A and B are shown apart, each in its own frame.
Chain A
Amino acid sequence: MTTTRRNALVRPCTIIYLLLIGLTLLTWALGRFNDRIGLPVATLSMTVLGIALLKGQLIGDFFMGLRRVRGAWRWVVTLWLLLPASLIGYAFLSSY
């Protein structure tokens, strides 16, 4: 495993890293240029919240290494992401 990884052109974690960078730029751009893009605020907010959930899951799985864990700890980050995100989502949606 170690050898294949070393021989591979790009490490999996590097791909994840680039993905995270891309998603971050996307979030920033949506916030920065929405007056030109013109998404409804609710759509904008829920989109960036969704992106944040995806990013959090990637960090948990690949950076924190939870995808190689079984049992209750496997889902600790997922659970944590869902808890505040559902509260945040509810609070924002109820405010429009």
Chain B
Amino acid sequence: MKYQSQSVAKLYFIAAIGLFVGQILFGLVMGLQYVVGDFLFPEIPFNVARMVHTNLLIVWLLFGFMGSAYYLVPEEAERELVAPWLAKLMFWIFLAAGAATIVGYLLLSYSDLAKLTQDDLLPTMGREFLEQPTITKLGIVVVALAFLFSIGMTILKGRKTVVNLVLLIGLTGLAVFFLFSFYNPENLVLDKYYWWWVVHLWVEGVWELILGSILAFILIKTTGVDREVIEKWLYVIIAMTLITGLIGTGHHYYWIGTPAFWQWWGSIFSAMEPIPFFMMTIFAFNMVNRRRRNHPNKAAVLWALGTAVMAFLGAGVWGFLHTLAPVNYYTHGTQITAAHGHMAFYGAYVMIVLAMISYAMPMLRGRRAANSPRSQVLEMWSFWLMTVSMVFITLFLTGAGILQTYLQRYSDQPLDFMTVQDKISLFYWLRELAGAVFLIGLVIYVVSFFAGTDEPEVAEKVEVDA
């Protein structure tokens, strides 16, 4: 760690991992409720478990992004963070607001929560993924502004690098697009139209910039390849991401009452969305192959390569599966969407945050560059357990989705929704099993932070065939 103020990242990373554990537990609860409908009813109904599962995901990823930014920006800007106290204060505000919201979801009925938080003053609740009470949303805006101030000022006052600028654009976009969560028009078409400006333009737009810049940073640090080479790739990937991702929003506008040209725009541009992800895969492996050093933190490099592959598969390939309008006509909102959602979020965003934690945490905990071999071996085990089980979750959900699409919408005698759900329950059981393995991987991941802490770290091997 080169700058004292980078240490604020540690708080954010610890919170992120804690919330990640919570997200997975609620995921397992829901997964079981798919097949045992009244499990934990009435304490945790399915809709609440789902809300907690998805909201926790978003919140812990945001903690992860913020932590990554607080670690990465000072090092790139070559100066201490502006107002690190603000970063610490915002951490506690964000954590408290997040925790209060989750507790509210769990203890109150959703309508009582809306009443309690005075949602009628500025109604923004009741929409998928944006369920948070208005007051929480306002809190998020305050936290985001303070965060952008601190990061932005550090970047402006320090050395300006492409990694920092791309990250800043991504984070600014994240904050700006979130403002659309306050726009809640009466017209349902308009409501959905702008709802996607938060949901889609986050995960298939500005978040990809954040992903790209964090990946570039880790690769610069662990491979020793020239910054110029990596920045050049970053430019190309970002340009392609924006061209395909922004207009690709159209793949959500097929059937909601928007003009028909969106079926063409959405199909053509979103069919191209895998390209920047594929470039990212090639880029990551290329840089690691051209490395000038063997960084002792093998686990971080593994996560970085993992995210390049899994993001392409989950976001790229599984997205393409159901993105063309004529295909989506049948598959819309089936388990195929769930399959895509799981692997894309895990591959693109979970893994990049874990890669950054893996890279930064040893330094934040006072080591020179890497953890002890024992800790790294455990971490790599957790990598494979989580990644392979996520592949299986995705495959089982894809199987469920294909069957569901056929039985419910394509066959000559279409069956009703609940009958079909019964018929595909085997896939749900298998998915739950894979989910349990994922949890084991996650437990091992957490354990890896406490293993071999008193042992010396891996030494950097000198490249023999340089």
Contact present between A and B (CB < 8 A): no
Chain B residues engaging chain A, CB cutoff 8 angstroms: none
